[in-house]
Amino acid sequence: MLIDHLGRKIEYLRVSVTDRCNFKCIYCFTHQNWKWLPHEEILRFEEIESIAKVFAKLGGKRIRLTGGEPLLRKNIEYLVEKLSQIPEIEDLSLTTNGSFLETLGEKLKKAGLKRINISLDTLNKEKFEKLTGTSEFEKVLRSIDIALELGFNPVKINTVIIRGFNEDEILDLAKLTLEKPVEVRFIEFMPIGKNSLWNEKHVVTIKEIKEVLESFSELIPDSSFGGGPAKVFRWKEAKGKIGLISPISEHFCHKCNRLRITADGRLRPCLFSDKEIDLKPILRKGEGTLEEAFSLALKIKPSEHNLNFTLKPMRAIGG
């Protein structure tokens, strides 16, 4: 069983399979001179599988594949199939920008992927293109329906609210739950990388978001299992749910149940910490064991995150 030095039970592993992304979101691509990781630095599928098997043997139950954009990783469905066959893993999920779901969704479902999170921060095409640097707006909107049609359950929509950009769309985004059985998750804007955009004044707190939502209709707490940081609600008349995630105003470190693997094989106990353990020497040179690495990660996992720490871009760590 994976229990850290503060008694927190660790059951969830987020694995970045690539640092590459076809979007250039302004809160992730923080400078123009970013260089992608060399191919040989990226973990191979068999290495990710080895890590996942040890994690499962030690008590891990949930794995999420992230990036970058994980669907840019060639033959990603092969990795999904391998991970889905690990008996102890009860939940295998993936976070995507949705732009490749039309071509890969069915393969992922057949391979054993259970659920999907789709990133969508605006319902305004012009804002979307400004935010992402792409013209994939319609494709991303379609990906929500594609995910539902393929039977992924639940389908969640991750939305970062930024003051001065999309706080006026909170209700419109939430109203997706009136027509679709999705969970729209509102996330406070976090400091990411050397990002000139981030400033505390750009943070719309979950309290503010909740007030906007309740101006439309009463929010009813939802008691269904989530296992994550979101506080989940629903409107009485809705088909879907609304999740509220507050990493800034009300951090949830005391119940953190996760570890992260970066695309280049570094085990990180906390998103907002520079403490990490390089797993490649273990995987490629036999220097130590994965069990020892996980044990060390539990010992160095911080009690809470440090928002003064300059976080690397999310594509480098894993979104």
Q: Which residues contact 77 (CB under 8 A, 6 or more apart)?
A: 104, 107, 108, 110, 111
Q: Is 16 annotated as a binding residue?
A: no
Pairing of strands 155-161, 182-188: parallel
Q: How far apart are CA 253 and CA 241, in angstroms?
A: 23
Q: Is 185 annotated as a binding residue?
A: no
* 8 A C-beta contact, residue 191 and residue 306: no
Q: Is 21 annotated as a binding residue?
A: yes
Q: Is 256 annotated as a binding residue?
A: yes
Q: Is 260 annotated as a binding residue?
A: yes
Q: Is 224 annotated as a binding residue?
A: no
Q: Is 190 annotated as a binding residue?
A: yes
Classify residue 186 by its DSSP letter.
E
Q: Is 73 annotated as a binding residue?
A: no
Beta-bridge partners for 233: 221, 242
Cβ-in-10-Å burial (0-12, 13-18, 19+) of 78 comes to middle
Q: Which of 115, 98, 68, 62 is nearest to 228 (CA)?
A: 62
Q: Is 132 annotated as a binding residue?
A: no
Q: Is 270 annotated as a binding residue?
A: yes
Q: Is 298 annotated as a binding residue?
A: no
Q: Is 78 annotated as a binding residue?
A: no
Q: Is 68 annotated as a binding residue?
A: yes
Binding residues for [4Fe-4S] cluster: 21, 25, 28, 253, 256, 270
Binding residues: 14, 21, 25, 27-28, 64, 68, 95, 119, 156, 190, 253, 256, 258-260, 270
Binding residues for S-adenosyl-L-methionine: 27, 68, 119, 190
Binding residues for GTP: 14, 64, 95, 156, 258-260
